[in-house]
A and B are shown apart, each in its own frame.
Chain A
């Protein structure tokens, strides 16, 4: 390890540089007075101020706010749905004496969304929705399609996180609770859920992050009417990104960091 020890700090620095150089660039250029591009025209807070501009007079501010709201609504809704479904799936997979063939099939069902490239999930969804649209107009592309798409890939990740915690927990505490005549509900509510809580929160955080990070699935399923921040950015990057998009991205990162820290505190507080 000693000789490797000399290379480790270099690799760690390179790694963190690759991770943080783009974030720093975004944060720094959000204070650029220039409207777009890499020319530095002096420090300014005008783009942050402009985000709060009156939507009546400033259509641009309204669009950016709308896209940000869509991103958050999509993230929160899909996270709630996928966390519930994913946790149930993990419990169902782990806590019942399924024959090994069924267990294997369940394992595959959870693996498939993870090993499918997102562009395939997106392509399948768009083709499927195009057919289903003839059945019912509620299958039009748009926010509902985006939520469905996000939940589809999030479920597997939540199930994986929760399930690994269930494996670690083992059966002993449940058995003890049952021996002490805990009812099913009492057992779930007072034994399983408190022990599983950190993993559920962790899975939900992962799902939310993946939703914020996803572009491909939203891009394919968004339809003409609804846009999220990444789609907005993608469409406007050819002509050069305007600085207000850097400002809103910076705010979004700060917001998520605060959220993650708060959730971390909350789960720690629950455990104490």
Chain B
């Protein structure tokens, strides 16, 4: 556990000769290559993963009525139709707003509380952590009714802020625990050295801890973004005004229509999937390593 977390922070243990030796073994293994026992299942599983993506891309760019297995005859009509006529540009902007604000709020709050949990002993810490852990067992569907009532009382129905709050709160406990793991892996002695040199607690945090926390922040931020972007249940429950729809809500309405237009649905799906896939592609290495410090939602 600790080794992987330390690797995530970029400070591998071991000497440089050690590392060179390690790379040597790896290079030899790569040259030898994997046998068919690895390659055959790998290719099969790649097909299983990629065909659904391909199917969507094909539908999105294929002319209506075509049964070709390639996106031929090629057309941009579906994309144009969805983006302009079906107002996906608006839904995309709404989703982006919710996801970005949710990322900012949850990482900021997670860094603060994660730092407190990793570095301080204080009364009530155990209780606080226990409550946070327990919230992990609370199902989203369970929160629908009371959150509906709470947001109604606060006048936040049909407000994108309701989604920001709900998404942030739901991801907060895990983000916080992950973050405290990352903070704990920054050697405390580095910070102490900074204090001795005259840094304040905050100065030490900003100059020493924060730069080393970047991979953790990226991982937690990506996790918050993906969660908020994908959220459907809260969005469909709290938003009924069409110009406030998020992308998942808009998709659900397309699915609910009698006689679904599959070309448009595919185009809408593509618009919806692209941001999460791009972000995931960028951070997946951090995620794989960061995950070993805790666990992240699926």
A binds B: no
- B interface, CB within 8 angstroms of A: none
- A interface, CB within 8 angstroms of B: none
